[in-house]
Structure 1
Amino acid sequence: MLSIFPGMWFGKGMAEMRIRAFLAGAVLALAAVLPAGAKERLVFMTDWMPQAEHGGFYQALATGLYEERGLEVVLRPGGVGMDPQTLLAAGAVDGAMGSSGFFVLNLAEVGAPVVTVAALFQKDPTILMSHPRDDVKSLADMKGKPIMIGDPSVNTVWRWLKSRYGFEDRQIRKYSFNIAPFLIDKSAIQQGYATSEPYTATKAGVTPQVFLLADNGFLSYSAMIMLRRDIVEKRPEVARAFVEASIEGWYSYLHGDPSPANDLIRRANPEMDQATLDYARARMVEYGIVDSGDADRLGIGAMTEARWQAFTDEMKGLGLYPAGLDWRQAVDFRFVNQAHGKEIRP
């Protein structure tokens, strides 16, 4: 059984946003599968309208991976005006997609009853991009030059850029998430996502230079699975079923036939076209957004204590969080790092 539900609107958190709407149901019995006859409903919010960056979740739904594990999953799309962190912390949804490590630290800081159980993107897709130009061949070359930055990034990613590359606030120009100013100004530099803005620019006749922050020292995970603490503690079999089916969905979406997920995405988001989906999926593979780094050895969804500690320490050093903040209060490793689903990858 499969159906698409109308999305709930929810806005940006400290990093970004999104989400959609869906469901599925059934039964099965295996090690990490729910008991026969069980049918557990789980509402999971993504961080924007349906797109390729959510492809693994839609693939798991479309191909029955959640259903096989006894789950009835509702994928709820996000959009402008709602905050997934707040909704999850308030118990309005069972889980949400965390777009950045800042989401996790924010929730840990306020003691929210939320646990991060998987990091599906080993690399945060955030980029800076410029027109082709001889004086900009690295992030370091952007020092002193005007850069268009969105308001949500000024106190997060921008502070990291200032610390790592010596950028200054006087370089900031407002980015209103409209690419038109970038297109007409050949000296422009702006932030974006590796899977999105470069494609929009290319379609408009500008093939940009792309600089992925993750390939230049930015340690944040992305596309994290965040669940209510009571689910993780009292119904760990539900958490494991959702995490492992989602991991299988991501392997299938990136290395198999993505059409089941893409069909659902286009139905849920009629403004999404196939060319955009193809571009985003190709960039996720090209940049190793999902299965690179620790995921090569530990499987998609991998997280490590060392990386969480390094990211937290760096953000504390920037003054973004108090010295006593403990990321361990908001992260649970028990459902990942077991190379689950790796046999799916060719």
Structure 2
Amino acid sequence: MESRKLYFSVKLLFMLTSLLLTLFILVACTSSGETNGSNTNSNNSETDSIETGNKKLTAVKQVTNWFAEPEHGGQYAALAKGFYEEAGLDMTIEPGGPQVSSITQVSTGEAMFGMTQADDLLIARSQGIPIVAIAATFQTNPQGLIYHKSQGISHFSDLNGHTVYTAPGAGYWQYIKAKYELTNVKEMNYTGSLANFVNDPGAVTQGYITAEPFSLAEQGIETDILLNAESGYNPYANILYTTEETIKNHPDIVKAFVEASIKGWNYYKDNYEEINKFLLEYNPDLSIDLMKHGSEAQMDLVYGGDAEANGVGYMTEERWNLLMEQLLELKLISKKEDVKNVFTNEFLPSN
């Protein structure tokens, strides 16, 4: 149990710092003048092929944003059920983690596809990294602020007077503070541990609706959560993306990847228990009960909203424009760009 608590408590901290690591690595490589001829653009300008029986497959790698978990269920379903192979892809899924930045790998050509958050993608583009969203697996962001049920908190404005643990510089927290005039909160840095939250009934901590509430309940701690999306700050989560160059040079591979991934998510909806057993092979730190909770908690977040009418992965200009305006106001990006350059629905399967 202790390993699972640590597993989920470091997750959010990693996601909020991974982009900074990406930018550091890219700047370091540029300043040293070194290039990696064997890896650079290996998935963007050229592709490798293998033959399986009489079928020729294109070798492709995608990098997720964390270790294998239900939040990646559709990707692993596509792998388990052979949907990528049916689409002509010899797929490798590399899990993210504390030492893995999907943005670095995709932007340097070490991987063709990655997974990140919508606000991180916009921040990366503002730094000159030409990545493009090609599907949004979560319509509603699963991040939120967890509180002890005994506190009677029901609204973001109720956070005044409480100690709140968040990762330094978190965009959602800057937004919530300003919008709800949280002038009487004690801000504490989220360190990757839930111990302070557990020991202080008046404390509030960042977390995922799919994870921490279950782990805390196992300890006998009753909690509830205010989803950040309910505040008005709702970046698409776990978006699939690639580079502008890949879209230009290999649109057929992008289309095959997206369609197979969405087929995987559609399968996962009704068969998550089957796929969760497959996920366990890739991440034995999880438990079946925990994954069941995560799968059920994310159903409306993945398959609701615009996905209900338009299919999993669908994105709108309105949502992207709103997020861009919010990041500009928070000074997390410095300029606005046409969102038609930021995302595309053209590779999504038609309903």
Q: Is the 8 A contact 1:26 1:68 kept in 2?
A: no
The counterpart of 1:192, out of the listed 167, 184, 207, is 207
Q: Which residue of 2 aligns with 1:75?
A: 93
Identity %: 27
Q: Distance in 2 between matches of 1:179 and 1:25?
A: 46
Q: How far off is 1:113 after superposition?
A: 3.0
In the TM superposition, 1:32-51 aligns within 5 A as 37-51=55-69
With over 3 angstroms needed to count, the CA separation of the structure-2 counterparts of 1:12 and 1:92, relative to structure 1, is farther
Seen in structure 2, the aligned counterparts of structure 1 residues 226 and 169 have a Cα distance that, compared at 3 Å, is farther
Cα pair 1:26 1:70 within 8 Å, conserved: no
> Among 229, 233, 258, which residue is 2:272 paired with?
258
Deviations 1:82-118 (A, max 9, x none): 32222221222111111x2122112211222322111
Query: Residue type matched to 1:64 in 2?
Result: G
SS, match of residue 280 in structure 1: helix
- TM-score w.r.t. the length of structure 2 is 0.82
Residue 81 of structure 2 is aligned to residue 55 of structure 1: no
- Structure 1 gaps of 5+ residues are 1-9, 18-23, 28-35, 340-346
Distance 1:169 1:45 in 2: 40
| Letter matched to residue 292 of structure 1 | G
- Residue in structure 2 matching 1:179, options 161, 180, 194: 194
Query: As a proportion of its length, which structure holds more helix?
Result: 2
Aligned to 2:129: 112
Q: Compute the displacement of 1:337 (Å).
A: 7.4
Q: Residue 282 of structure 1: which of 267, 278, 296 is its match?
A: 296
Q: Match of 2:247?
A: 232
Q: What SS class does the counterpart of residue 72 from structure 1 fall into?
A: strand
- Residues of 2 paired with 1:39 and 1:126: CA distance? 37
1:265-293: CA deviations, max 9, x gaps? 111112111111111001012xx110111
Which one is further off, 87-96 or 194-203?
Answer: 87-96
User: Does the aligned pair in 2 maintain the 1:52–1:280 contact within 8 Å?
Assistant: yes
Contact in 2 for aligned 1:25/1:66 (Cα 8 Å): no
Gaps of 5+ in 2: 1-10, 20-48
Aligned to 2:157: 140
Give, in angstroms, the shift of residue 170 of structure 1. 5.5
The separation in 2 between residues aligned to 1:329 and 1:57, in whole angstroms, is: 25
Q: Does structure 1 residue 244 correspond to structure 2 residue 259?
A: yes
The one-letter amino acid paired with 1:67 is E
* Cα distance in 2 for residues equivalent to 1:214 and 1:313: 16
Q: What's the C-alpha RMSD, in Å, of the aligned pairs? A: 2.5
Counterparts of 1:188 and 1:126 in 2: how far apart (Å)?
17
Report the CA distance between 1:200 and its aligned residue.
Answer: 0.9
The separation in 1 between residues aligned to 2:275 and 2:89, in whole angstroms, is 17
Take 2:51 and 2:64, find their aligned partners in 1: how far apart are those partners? Answer: 22
In the superposition, the TM-score normalised over structure 1's length comes to: 0.83
Of 298, 303, 306, the residue aligned with 1:294 is: 306
**Pairwise CA distance, 1:316:** 0.8
Q: Counterpart in 2 of 1:269? A: 283
**Structure 1 pair 124–97 and aligned structure 2 pair: CA distance change class (3 A):** same
Q: Deviations over 1:217-245 (max 9, x none)?
A: 22200110011322211111111111111
> Counterpart of 2:32?
none
C-alpha separation between the residues in 1 aligned to 2:312 and 2:177? Answer: 31
How many pairs are equivalent? 311
- CA distance 1:276–1:12, shift in 2 (3 Å): same
1:259, CA displacement in angstroms?
4.0
